Amino acid sequence: MISKSIKLKNINKQFDDVKVVHSFNLNIDAGEFVTLLGPSGCGKTTLLRMIAGLEHVTSGNIYIGNEDVTTTPPNKRDTSIMFQDYALFPHMNIEKNIGYGLKLKKIEKNIIKEKTMLWLKKIGLENYKSRMPYEISGGQRQRVALARSLIVEPGVLLLDEPLGALDANLRKNMQIELKKIHSEFGITFVYVTHDQEEALSMSTRIVLMKSGKIEQLSKPNELYEKPVTSFAAKFMGFANVFSINDLNNINNKNLVDYLETEDSHANKLCFRSKDIDFSISEQGNFRVISKNYYGDSHKFQVINSKDLIINLSTSDSNSSKITLNTKIDLKINSNKIVLLKG
């Protein structure tokens, strides 16, 4: 398979009066695994569909490899798309579904059969080849859809929330499998999801999107550890995002010292709920207002006299002593604090 690069140049997309993608620029190298991450309605799926050719661009250019494909119909693009509901052809059995792309390429029948068998083995469904799509499970359907997309050896594989319909266990396994397939074939993957964990576990780079624009483009660990904006911080699971002024209310000397020496562009900061040290203390400034159990951790919300609410979490078993209205003292380690630009 020949992996291809993608270049999106100044893409705009408008549906009637609603602008869903704004002057979008992105270069994806051949062989990358890039995830478009964002809440629903941020334009990530529309962007993917435009790369596939299923949606016209209002303005701008799309390049796949070195070729301008902006007006090329989907069947002439070197892309293959996989949908959340898999879109298996209901009137064809598994074997026919997988081989359909090769049939379109006018490849000899016995070669189609051979290659289809190879893929059926690869996905462990060789005994299911004459079943119809409705006769197999969701996870199996998913693998059939993947095989159907990959058998045509596309330069780019586009995946539209392909794991969205699977249960949590299966989803974890498929993440590992997808990642394996990506490194095995080395083709470019563009993956759309709203699930940050999926994005973090598989991507080489993540494009965090908000209202049709790039909010942050970085490697998974950078996005997780150093979000740039409060939107990115919240999306990556930072439970505590405050403006700097608000946080001055906390009686914590270290924190204030640290902030005074930082650059003045930052006006917000964030920290994770697990990065807060706390202890039960009669003199504590904070009072517990909620407590929830999550299996491997407890999560608390605490409030001070100035109505500042902070989220804490701990996997310490001592936390069982903490109940509603327990007084608590907080310490936030200054190197766990991430400064944000708006």
Partner 1 sequence: MKNNSLLNNFLYLLFFFIVFVIYLPIFVMIVFSFNSSKYQIMPLRSLTIDWYYRVFNDSQYIEGLTNSLFVSVTVSLVATTLAFFCSYSLVNSNFKGKSILNLFFLTPLVVPLILIGISLRFYLSSQGYEPSLYLVTIGQSIFVMPLAILNLSNRMSQIPKNLEEAAWSLGSSRIRSIFEIVLPACKFSLIATFILTFTFAFDEFIIAYFLNNFSITLPIKIWTSLVTGFDPAINAIGTLVFLTSLTLGLTAQLLFMKK
Q: Interface residues with partner 1 (CB under 8 A)? A: 52-54, 73-75, 77, 79-81, 83, 85, 87, 89-91, 100-101, 104-105, 148-149, 152, 158
112 and 119 in contact (C-beta within 8 Å)?
Answer: no
The amino acid sitting at 286 is F
Q: In what order do the strands lie in the sheet with 298-303?
A: 276-280, 327-332, 286-293, 298-303, 309-314
The distance of closest approach from Cβ of residue 170 to partner 1 in the complex, given in angstroms and rounded to an integer, is 21
**Nearer to partner 1 by C-beta: 48 or 241?**
48
CA-based nearest residue to 318, from 277, 290, 261: 277
- Residue where the block lists tokens 């494009």: 207
DSSP 135-186: GS-HHHHHHHHHHHHHTT--SEEEEESTTTTS-HHHHHHHHHHHHHHHHHH-
Parallel, antiparallel, or unpaired for β 18-28 and 6-15? antiparallel
Q: Which is nearer to partner 1, 149 or 240 (CB)?
A: 149
Query: Burial of 199 by CB count in 10 Å (0-12 exposed, 13-18 middle, 19+ buried)?
Result: buried
Nearest approach in angstroms of CB 151 to partner 1 is: 9
We find the least distance from the C-beta atom of residue 222 to partner 1, in angstroms, to be: 32
Min. distance of Cβ 16 from partner 1 in angstroms?
10
Q: In angstroms, what is the minimal distance from the CB of 63 to partner 1?
A: 18
Nearer to partner 1 (CB atom), residue 73 or residue 295: 73
Terminal CA-to-CA distance of the chain, rounded, Å? Answer: 43
Smallest distance from partner 1 to CB 153, Å: 11
Instruction: Indicate the pairing of strand 268-271 with strand 240-243.
Output: antiparallel
CA distances from 20 to 11, 62, 120, 289, 293 (A): 10, 17, 39, 40, 39
Nearer to partner 1, 149 or 326 (CB): 149
d(CA 45, CA 35): 11
Nearer to partner 1, 135 or 257 (CB): 135
Q: Minimal distance in Å, beta carbon 149 to partner 1?
A: 8
CB 101 to partner 1: min, Å: 4
The residue among 52 and 255 lying less far from partner 1, judged by its C-beta, is 52
Give CA angle at 102 (100, 107), nearest 5°: 130
Rounded to whole angstroms, the Cα distance separating 205 from 85 reads 25
Pair of tokens at residue 88: 């298996």
Tell me the torsion sign for CA atoms 337, 213, 210, 31.
negative
Q: Which is nearer to partner 1, 8 or 147 (CB)?
A: 147
* Residue with smaller CB distance to partner 1, 105 or 253: 105
- Please, which residue, 40 or 75, has the CB nearer to partner 1? 75
Angle of the 109-122 helix axis to the 94-104 helix axis, nearest 10: 130
The minimum distance between CB 45 and partner 1, in angstroms, equals 11
